[in-house]
């Protein structure tokens, strides 16, 4: 079947200090630093991309690090947790590593029958490591102290918190091709069978919850994966017919995007596989150069002067 969504493409969040953000995700979590560029709308701010070796869709976590950003808080109308898949038997390694690194974390618990370790990054962003019921066969990025037997494989799920389940659920099922798999109290698990990784969305219904503040330590948007820009535009037609406002196609250099807000308030993006992160850097050099959108290249000197120094 054509014109389908293939799970999560990437997730974008807001951070504070750029160096702290880089250190945590590249060193503490051991992700590859895939791309160093700037915010298209604010070129005085970095846009960081972390993922696997290739920056494969389903592994990409991106950040806008603003040095003096106000502290946000999670709540209704936003994505409130990012879940990563890790191998069976690895959670004790991560607990010890987090303890040594001063990362606050909770005891392992079960969510939908899967062992889950929840923790926060230095800005307060909520993440979890999940041992999936079915082993995740994706090849991880490894570092000298994080081997393939414990390294994270990429996204497992993202959790959305909304005031009312049904309107959000209908977007997931009617437009994005997900189906309801399970329920635990006010938490609902949706999945898609188009792909077997990065394919779950958890929705938490919180009728009395406080609306979240989108600032430091919170998620900005969730991007869902589309194969190419031709299929992207066909899905756009479905969303328009559904009655939701959606942007025109936007060229993000590494993928083409559309943005729309689902009825629960969460900002969704649809993003393509093409052209990928090697369009402006060879694979071996990903993340080692400051890459600027073409419209900002003439201002490189001023932009580099304004950006915080980053030690890699």
pLDDT of residue 2: 62
Model confidence pLDDT, tens digit, residues 10-31: 999 999 999 999 999 999 999 9
Residue whose C-alpha is closest to residue 44's, from 312, 309, 287, 304: 304
Q: Is residue 174 part of a domain?
A: yes
Q: Answer yes or no: is 218 within a domain.
A: yes
Which band of pLDDT confidence, cut at 50, 70 and 90, is reported for residue 118?
very high
pLDDT in tens, 230-242: 999 999 999 999 9
Residue 70, SS3 per DSSP:
coil
Task: Show Cβ contacts of residue 172 under 8 Å, excluding neighbours closer than 6 positions.
Answer: 178, 190, 201, 203
What is the extent of the structural domain holding 283? Answer: 8-306
Listed in sequence order, the DSSP H helices in 159-199 are 165-170
3 belongs to a structural domain: no
Q: What CATH number did the domain enclosing 166 receive?
A: 3.10.180.10
pLDDT class of 38 with cuts at 50, 70, 90: very high
Instruction: Give the per-residue pLDDT at 7.
Output: 98
Asked whether the predicted pLDDT for residue 3 surpasses 90, the reply is no
Determine the Cα–Cα distance for residues 173 and 265; give it in Å rounded to an integer.
Answer: 17
Read off the pTM: 0.97
The mean pLDDT of the chain is 96
In the chain, the number of structural domains is 1
CA distance 223 to 57: 10
In a domain, 312, yes or no: no
The reported pLDDT for the residue numbered 106 is 77
pLDDT at 213 over 70: yes
Residue 311 lies in a domain: no
Let me know if residue 36 belongs to a domain: yes
**1 assigned to some structural domain:** no
What average pLDDT does this structure show over 203-215? 97
- Residue 1: the pLDDT is 46
How much is the average pLDDT of 262-269?
98
User: Is there a contact between 51 and 34 (Cβ–Cβ < 8 Å)?
Assistant: yes
Q: Is residue 204 part of a domain?
A: yes
């Amino acid at each position: 079947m054509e014109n389908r969504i293939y799970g999560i493409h990437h997730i974008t969040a807001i951070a504070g200090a750029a160096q702290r953000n880089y250190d945590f995700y590249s060193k503490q979590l051991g992700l590859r630093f895939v791309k160093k560029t700037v915010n298209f709308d604010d070129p005085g701010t970095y846009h960081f991309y972390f993922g696997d070796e290739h920056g494969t869709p389903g592994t990409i976590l991106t950040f806008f690090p603003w040095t003096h950003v106000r502290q946000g808080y999670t709540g209704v109308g936003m994505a409130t947790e990012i879940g990563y898949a890790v191998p069976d038997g690895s959670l004790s390694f991560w607990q010890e590593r987090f303890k040594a690194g001063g990362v606050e974390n909770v005891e392992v618990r079960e969510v939908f029958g899967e062992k889950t370790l929840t923790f926060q990054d230095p800005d307060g962003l909520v993440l979890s490591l999940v041992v999936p019921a079915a082993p995740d066969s994706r090849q991880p990025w490894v570092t000298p102290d994080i081997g393939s037997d414990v390294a994270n494989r990429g996204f497992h799920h993202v959790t959305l918190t909304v005031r009312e389940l049904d309107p959000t659920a209908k977007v997931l099922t009617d437009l994005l091709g997900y189906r309801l798999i399970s329920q635990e109290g006010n938490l609902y698990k949706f999945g898609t069978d188009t792909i077997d990784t990065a394919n779950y969305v958890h929705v938490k219904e919180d009728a009395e919850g406080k609306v979240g503040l989108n600032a430091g330590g919170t998620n900005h948007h969730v991007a869902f994966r589309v194969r190419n820009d031709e299929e992207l535009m066909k899905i756009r037609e479905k969303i328009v017919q559904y009655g939701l406002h959606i942007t025109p196609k936007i060229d993000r250099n590494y993928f083409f995007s559309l943005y729309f807000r689902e009825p629960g308030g969460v900002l969704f993006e649809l993003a393509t596989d093409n052209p990928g992160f090697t369009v402006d850097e060879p694979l071996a050099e990903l993340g080692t150069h400051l890459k600027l959108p073409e419209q900002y290249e003439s201002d490189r000197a001023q932009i580099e002067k304004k950006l915080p120094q980053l030690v890699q």
